[in-house]
């Protein structure tokens, strides 16, 4: 008896056949490595909830990015951990702030060989842990925060950023940043908008990495997106695109593959997805216990993110995957 579906099985018979007909291939060119640089330390500090990830010194950051370049990783995104925080988050736009000085280091180290992205937010720098300055009721003041985001964008551009990535989910953030950059002669600096950023329970290890705690036990559900909603994400994406975003991001990634797919159908600009700290940490924890093959699961998950429609993937697995691809 002939089975029409047998033709599908025939094309799965050997690794070479499977590779030949594969619809999706994740490569080193798709990867963006999130990196942390901390002020006031003299050696890299491991992050226990993110095995294999560290808070870098300026010197170790330079070495890491040079090694990523040699592995073919095309881009990094930089997060700063300052020594001091204040209610305004002023270290975020200080010319001598940790991200700005680290950016200048990296520009000297790698030139234009690696795309230098910067997270553009205030939460790493504010004493209260929110993504913006607070009003009299203790809630983020959207419009006052936009003025500060514009200052951060200019400081990062002047320090050498190729792409600034506003992640605070403030209304109008892309427009405020784009106008500030253009008015000050930084029209070549691109904006990657965290357009669909959810108030996820998967960010815990990241907050360990940047030493962020929301004072008073609050949360960000008032300005980040509700995980129950997908159509709302498309509205946010439309707004950011209309305001001048060059690239868009969905965050987290694996838990929101449906949103990535819908976003891909809606827009033609480059689409990023952030495989976040909790997604990474779960794979690492299960692999440590011998329950899964960690590298295989990482590759499967990130290939799924690309299959869903992402053009680039921010992932803490970037170095491991690049080394795997190079073997």
Catalytic residue numbers? 197, 251
| End-to-end CA gap in the chain | 43
Q: Phi first, then psi: give them for residue 205, nearest 5 degrees.
A: -60, -35
* Residue bearing tokens 């965050």: 251
Number of Cβ atoms within 10 Å of the Cβ of 232: 13
Residues 6+ apart with CB under 8 A from 187: 181
CA distance 173 to 184: 17
Specify burial of residue 320 (Cβ count, 10 A radius: 0-12, 13-18, 19+). Answer: middle
Q: Phi first, then psi: give them for residue 145, nearest 5 degrees.
A: -70, -35
Quote the radius of gyration of the chain (alpha carbons, Å): 20
Q: Phi first, then psi: give them for residue 54, nearest 5 degrees.
A: -130, 160
Map residue 162 onto helix, strand or coil: coil
């Amino acid at each position: 008896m002939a089975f029409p579906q047998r033709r599908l099985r025939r094309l799965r018979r050997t690794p070479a056949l499977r590779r030949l007909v594969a619809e999706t291939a994740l490569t080193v060119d798709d990867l963006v490595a999130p990196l942390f640089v901390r002020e006031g330390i003299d050696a890299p500090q491991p992050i226990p909830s993110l095995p294999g990830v560290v808070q870098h010194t300026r010197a170790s950051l330079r070495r890491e990015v040079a090694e990523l370049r040699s592995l073919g990783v095309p881009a990094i995104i930089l997060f700063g951990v300052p020594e001091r925080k204040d209610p305004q988050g002023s270290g975020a736009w200080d010319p001598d702030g940790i991200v700005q000085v680290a950016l200048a280091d990296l520009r000297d180290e790698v030139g234009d060989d690696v795309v230098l992205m910067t997270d553009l937010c205030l939460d790493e720098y504010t004493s209260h842990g929110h993504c913006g300055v607070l009003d009299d009721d203790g809630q983020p003041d959207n419009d006052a925060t936009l003025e500060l985001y514009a200052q951060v964008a200019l400081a990062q551009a002047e320090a050498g950023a190729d792409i600034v990535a506003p992640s605070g989910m403030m209304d109008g953030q892309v427009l405020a940043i784009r106008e500030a950059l253009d008015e000050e002669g930084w029209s070549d600096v691109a904006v990657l908008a965290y357009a669909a950023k959810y108030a996820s329970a998967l960010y815990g290890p990241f907050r360990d990495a940047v030493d962020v705690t929301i004072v008073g036990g609050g949360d960000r559900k008032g300005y980040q997106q509700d995980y129950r909603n997908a159509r709302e994400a498309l509205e946010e994406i439309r707004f950011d695109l209309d305001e001048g975003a060059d690239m868009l991001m969905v965050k987290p990634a694996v838990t929101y593959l449906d949103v990535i797919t819908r976003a891909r159908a809606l827009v033609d600009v480059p689409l990023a997805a952030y495989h976040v700290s909790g997604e990474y940490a779960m794979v690492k924890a299960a692999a440590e216990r011998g329950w899964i093959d960690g590298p295989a699961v990482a590759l499967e998950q990130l290939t799924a993110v690309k299959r869903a429609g992402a053009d680039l993937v921010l992932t803490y697995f970037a170095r491991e995957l690049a080394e795997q691809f190079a073997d």
